[in-house]
């Protein structure tokens, strides 16, 4: 019944490693997002995918790459992890409004990434 799921929930790794976070939604939504929430709870959008196409890409390092094998999945790959990548990463999905404005977003439970 979980609408938006993420795995893993916790990820502890060493600097320089490559890791992936998976996200799946069963809501049939057209758009999926990745957010980064820092220790001060500031939530910053990283990527958005609409119908398997990247439609926005905030100025994140190219070490981060979203990959969407199908409309229900948007995975986040991170290469050469750095200390500053430590944060909580949230996946979300939403239907697209007919006016083009975005609608209610459904968030996953988050993945807490700790880089040592």
- Nearer to another protein by C-beta: 64 or 90? 90
Q: CA dist 48 to 12, 51, 57, 77, Å? A: 25, 10, 7, 14
Q: Which of 41, 53, 62, 70 binds another protein (CB under 8 A)?
A: 41
| Binding status of residue 105 toward another protein by CB under 8 A | yes
Spatial separation of the C-alpha atoms in residues 63 and 68, rounded to whole Å = 16
| Binding status of residue 83 toward another protein by CB under 8 A | no
Smallest distance, another protein to C-beta of residue 100, A? 6
Smallest distance, another protein to C-beta of residue 32, A? 11
| Binding status of residue 57 toward another protein by CB under 8 A | no
User: 39 in the Ramachandran plot: left (φ > 0), alpha (ψ -120 to 50) or beta?
Assistant: alpha
């Amino acid at each position: 019944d979980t609408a938006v799921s993420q795995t893993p929930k916790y990820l502890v790794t060493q600097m320089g490693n490559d890791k992936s976070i998976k996200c799946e939604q069963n809501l049939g939504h057209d758009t999926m997002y990745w957010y980064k929430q820092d220790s001060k709870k500031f939530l910053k959008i990283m990527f958005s995918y609409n119908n398997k196409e990247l439609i926005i890409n905030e100025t994140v390092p190219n070490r981060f790459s979203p990959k969407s094998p199908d409309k229900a999945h948007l995975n986040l790959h991170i290469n050469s992890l750095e200390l500053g990548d430590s944060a909580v990463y949230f996946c979300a999905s939403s239907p697209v409004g007919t006016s083009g404005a975005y609608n209610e977003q459904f968030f996953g439970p988050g993945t807490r990434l700790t880089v040592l």
